[in-house]
């Protein structure tokens, strides 16, 4: 009496979104990936390449800093290890990957 009957409507033809419709749905995802590539991935790859180049170029008498903050002068270089003189007559062996930065010549005058 008080409630009217609800009748289902006939289904209309499904609209084909086409190329532009599907492109606009993926545009934010594509844009987010491009931004992430330029802000995160590319600078990290550049930094890794610089570190690899620096490790390959290590030579005797280079002054370096290790990951742990130890400063010293390189006394010998092998394929995977580096000998670093941290004080007069005191040498430590570290992995090449533990060398963080190469210092300018003459930075360490106390050794």
Query: Is the Cβ–Cβ distance between 103 and 64 less than 8 Å?
Result: yes
- Domain 59-103 sits in CATH at 2.30.30.60
* pLDDT confidence band for 107 (50 / 70 / 90): confident
Which pTM does this prediction carry? 0.63
Angle (nearest 5°) at CA 65 between 63 and 67: 155
| For range 90-105, the mean pLDDT | 94
pLDDT in tens, 38-80: 999 999 999 999 999 999 999 999 999 999 999 999 999 999 9
Domain boundaries along the sequence of the chain: 18-57, 59-103
Task: Choose between 84 and 6: higher pLDDT.
Answer: 84
């Amino acid at each position: 009496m008080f409630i009217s009957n609800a009748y289902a409507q006939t289904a209309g033809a499904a609209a084909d979104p086409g190329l532009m419709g599907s492109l606009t749905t993926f545009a934010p995802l594509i844009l987010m990936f491009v931004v992430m590539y330029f802000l995160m991935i590319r600078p990290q790859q550049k930094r890794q390449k610089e570190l690899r180049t620096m490790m390959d170029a290590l030579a005797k008498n280079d002054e370096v800093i290790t990951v742990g903050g130890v400063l010293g002068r390189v006394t010998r270089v092998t394929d995977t290890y580096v000998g670093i003189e941290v004080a007069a007559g005191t040498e430590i062996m570290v992995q090449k990957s533990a060398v963080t930065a190469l210092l300018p010549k003459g930075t360490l005058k106390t050794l």
